């Protein structure tokens, strides 16, 4: 019995988001949310939101016990890159890449 939730186009670089995702992979949902609550990273609020959503999907749609849920898989894919320009010396410019992430969480009952 699995439930899934996805957040797309999150404005945090995938590399930074993966650091947070690696911490909670395989943990109980309650334990993971407790860890994330005190983690000071930019990707933390987005991952908390997706984990809570996946847990609620399992409870609502499949009648799972919220105490027995764990994070089966969590992965972060690269989303579209927003391109911007910044002025530089002698009238030139450089490109700034604002990367986005797609976060997917699958929870299952243990």
Q: Which domain holds residue 96?
A: 2-109
Rounded Cα distance between 45 and 81, Å, is 20
Q: What is the CATH number of the domain that holds 13?
A: 3.90.470.10
The helix or strand, by DSSP H or E, that contains position 17, with its residue range, turns out to be helix 14-24
The per-residue DSSP string of 36-105 comes to HHT---TTHHHHHHHHHHHHHHHHHHH---GGGEEEEEEEEEE-PPEEEEEE-GGG-EEEEEE--EEEEE
Residue 73 sits at φ, ψ, to 5 deg, of: -140, 145
Confidence of residue 1 (pLDDT cuts 50, 70, 90): confident
Rounded-to-integer distance, Cα 10 and Cα 2, Å:
24
Instruction: In whole angstroms, give the CA distance from residue 103 to residue 98.
Output: 16
Predicted local confidence at residue 110, as pLDDT:
86
Span 66-82, pLDDT tens digits: 999 999 999 999 999 99
Q: What is the pLDDT of residues 6-59, one digit of tens each?
A: 999 999 999 999 999 999 999 999 999 999 999 999 999 999 999 999 999 999
Question: How many domains does the structure of the chain reveal?
Answer: 1
């Amino acid at each position: 019995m699995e439930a899934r939730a996805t957040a797309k186009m999150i404005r945090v670089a995938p590399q930074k988001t993966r650091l947070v995702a690696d911490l909670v992979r395989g943990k109980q949902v309650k334990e993971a949310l407790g860890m994330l609550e005190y983690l000071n990273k930019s990707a933390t609020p987005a991952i908390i939101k997706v984990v809570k959503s996946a847990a609620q999907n399992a409870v609502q749609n499949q009648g799972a016990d919220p105490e027995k849920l764990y994070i089966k898989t969590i992965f972060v894919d690269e989303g579209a890159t927003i391109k911007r320009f910044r002025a530089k010396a002698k009238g030139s410019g450089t490109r700034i890449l604002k990367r986005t992430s797609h976060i997917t969480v699958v929870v299952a009952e243990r």
